[in-house]
Amino acid sequence: MRFLFKTDYAQDIRLAKHGGHVFWYSALLLLLFVAPWLFAEYWLAQLTLVLIYSVAGLGLMLLAGFTGLFSMGHAAFLGVGAYTHAVMTNAGIPFPIAIVCAAGLAAAVGLVVGLPALRVKGIYLGIATLSFGFIVEEVLARWESVTGGNAGIHIAKPNLFGWVLESGTEFYFLCLVITVTATLGILNLLRAPTGRAFVAIRDSEISAQSMGIHLAYYKTLSFAISAALAGVAGALYAHNLQFISPDQFNILQSIDLLLMIVIGGVGSVHGAFLGAIFLIAMPQVIAQVKDFLPATVGQAPGLQGLVYGLVLITFVLFEPMGLYGRWLKIRTYLQMFPFYRKGMFKRQKSFQKSDRLK
Amino acid sequence: MLFLQLVISGIAQGCIYGLIALGFVLIYKATETVSFAQGELMMLGAFGGLVGMTLLGFPYWLAVVCAIAAMALFGLLLERVVIRPILGQPAFSVVMLTIGIGYVARGAITMLPGIGTDTQALPVPYKDEIWKIGGNEFGVGALVLNVEHMAVIGATAVLCALLYALFRYSKLGVAMQAASQNQLAAYYMGIPVQRLNGLAWGLAAAVSAIAGLLLAPITFVHANMGFIGLKAFPAAVVGGFGSLPGAIVGGLVIGIVESLSGFYLPDGFKDTAAYIVVLVMLMVKPNGLFGEKLRKKV
């Protein structure tokens, strides 16, 4: 077991808490940097997709996991980012400028959606964002002069001031750099006063307000940052598929994003990554297992939805902290080896915290 | 005449939204949780009716009663097995749980060999009949009423009257109201709150099944018909999330707006009308038309 002796206040907010963190995260980063030479092209493409979804997941995690505002229309921000980026790239604007604009426009849209969030909360916010998601999808489908309508649009290869990224490897590195930057940004945000304010709002709006946190400002800020990250992810997503159409940004995509952070573990940055890995790996696993099942089960088209639903139900019922929570438990078990007690991670039931007037 | 025609078809569609919204509101009032699986329960109800009528060869009314009863039991079971263990957790957990239930229901129906991936018509006795009112002897300018639409409106009216009677006059209904207003006080008065929550789920599932059986002749039965449940959310919000009559009124508002905007406004407004209405409603009056004003005490 590791004991940390804190001798300095700055130790509390250090990104790497101890040598183990430094070692393992460096190893992970090293592995990701040499991945193109280790894995086949197909697996590298999957890894790229994991990175892209991680960026979107980080955004939603900041909003849902750290600020406690649930967005059921997050695919709309993904769509706004993707289309902005696609239109600008096709107009010959270099990648860095286009992606900043995509993030900016998505953030602006996020601000607009964030405003009703000040008045409504809980399930009403979910329905407001859901409605907004439908409206954006419809706009993308109908605004044919810009978006190409339901036929979709193709997008040119990313162009960094004349250096065109042709191969999958180059695009992988682009995604890796953006993901690492986004992750460090989020981690830094969370240890700064802004991030603390978000967490305070999540835990109790009333106490946060009493502590002098400006709810309106921080909630809209959270929406804007989250939407900006989704916009960046959308831009990368567009490059990855090289073709986008409105039905890629529908309600199912929004639910996939939510499913990702719930299964990864709401309220942890790791959760966004674990969820993304789950979301990308699951169809592969199902495809592998399919052949061993009887044909009536294995070849049925609804299998994937059924498995997703069952996994989601299982996680909500038995592991609400998600994959990251499971890992925490395993780690604690190993660290304390013979002394792990069953009740250490017991959830506390808070019976009927009613919102109703008493 | 055309306007009236649009309004009537809007009302019929609105009744469906209203019935599904009624399911949300029943569950919300009982357990303060929101079920995203209501549309899928509706789809299961429609499939139940289909199986009863085609595979088992039941007559229409027997099949309808069996489908509704089966769905009520399914609702009870669902509450007991997956919802009750999670009560007391954040509301969002239950939302994700019901989304999961929806995925499973949709996936399971799609996996059924033979009927899962097809769209079938529900063989109801009143299929494709129309009534004509007014007009000259050639039927020009007449108000053409689709019997399927009138069946929806009639059945909704009867169901509302029954529910009103249940909540107003029966012991069970009054107990349910008490439990929804203050669970703890109701429990102290000897009301079995947990069993009532189960019954609320059963009732909500039965109402959804009725909605499914009414909708089936109009749109066909298929695995994705549950997505219409997403339009019932705006209906519930417009009416005020905690109000039973509000759910029906909200459904009617959404249905009529959708029907009229589909005709008078450009393409694309029909599908988004419900969501635009709900966004406006949330901006103007977040508690809905019939919702009570809530203030949280610290």
Supply the range of the domain harboring residue A99. 32-292
Shortest alpha-carbon distance between residue A118 and chain B (Å): 10
Express each pLDDT in A253-267 by its tens digit. Answer: 998 899 899 899 888
How many residues can be counted in chain B?
298
The single residue listed with the structure tokens 């018909």 is B225
Q: Which residue has the tokens 């000259």?
A: B136
Q: Which residues of chain B are within 8 Å of residue A251 when distances are taken between CB atoms? A: 227, 230
Interface contact A142-B267, CB threshold 8 A: yes
Sorted by where each begins, the domain ranges of chain B are 14-226
Residue A354 lies in a domain: no
Q: Are A251 and A133 in contact (CB under 8 A)?
A: yes
Q: Are A76 and A132 a contacting pair, CB within 8 Å?
A: yes
What is the per-residue pLDDT for B292?
A: 67
Q: What is the rounded CA–CA span in Å between residue B298 and residue A42?
A: 55
Residue A355 maps to a domain: no
The model's confidence at residue A1, banded by pLDDT at 50, 70 and 90, is low
Percentage with pLDDT > 90 across chain A: 34
Confidence of residue B130 (pLDDT cuts 50, 70, 90): confident
The DSSP secondary structure of B232-277, one letter per residue, reads: HHHHHHHH-TT-HHHHHHHHHHHHHHHHHHHHHSPTTHHHHHHHHH
Residue pair A200/A33 in contact by the 8 Å Cβ criterion: no
Name which of B96, B270, B279 to mutate to probe chain A: the one with the most chain A Cβ atoms within 10 A of its Cβ: B96
Report pLDDT digits (tens) over A150-203.
888 888 888 777 777 778 888 899 999 999 999 999 999 999 999 999 999 888
Taking Cα atoms as reference points, which of B36, B9, B21, B13 lies closest to residue B239? B21
| Structure token pair of residue B278 | 């709900």
Distance from CA of B3 to the nearest CA of A (A): 26
Given a cut of 90, whether residue B144 has pLDDT beyond it is no
| Residue A183 counted as domain residue | yes
Q: Which of A306, A351, A352 shows the shortest C-beta gap to B108?
A: A306
Q: Over pLDDT 70: what percentage of chain B?
A: 91
- List chain B residues with CB under 8 Å of A262: 96
> Which of A254, A274, A255 is closest to A266 using CA atoms?
A274
- The DSSP bridge partners found for residue A159 are A164
**Does residue B191 register a pLDDT over 50?**
yes
Q: Which of B111, B230, B298 sits opposite A251 (nearest CB)?
A: B230
Q: If you average pLDDT over residues B3-30, what whole number do you get?
A: 87
d(CA A114, CA A217): 10
Answer for the pair A52, A275: CB distance below 8 angstroms, yes or no: no
Kindly report the backbone phi and psi dihedral angles of residue B133, in degrees, each rounded to the nearest multiple of 5, phi listed first. -120, 130
The number of distinct structural domains making up chain A is 1
Give the residue from B52, B43, B41 showing the smallest Cα distance to B75. B41
Contact B241 A304 (CB under 8 A): no
The predicted pLDDT at position A144 comes to 81
Tell me whether residue A58 is in a domain. yes
The CA distances from residue B24 to B18, B49, B77, B111, B183, in Å, are: 10, 22, 17, 27, 18
Q: CA nearest A185: which of A58, A86, A74, A302?
A: A58
Q: From CA B150, how far away is CA B9, in angstroms rounded?
A: 9
How high is the pLDDT of residue B12?
A: 87
Give the length of chain A.
Answer: 358
pLDDT bracket for residue B120 (50, 70, 90): confident
- Provide the whole-model pTM: 0.88
* Among the ranges given (A282-291, A295-304, B243-252, B271-280), the one the predictor scored with the smallest mean pLDDT: A295-304
Q: Could you read off the pLDDT of B234-283 as tens digits, one per residue?
A: 888 888 877 888 889 999 999 999 888 888 888 778 788 888 888 888 88
CATH code of residue A246: 1.10.3470
d(CA B216, CA B123): 9
Please give, rounded to a whole number of angstroms, the shortest distance from the CA of B109 to a CA of chain A. Answer: 8
Within a domain: A334 = no
ipTM: 0.85
Task: Give the percent of chain A with pLDDT over 70.
Answer: 94
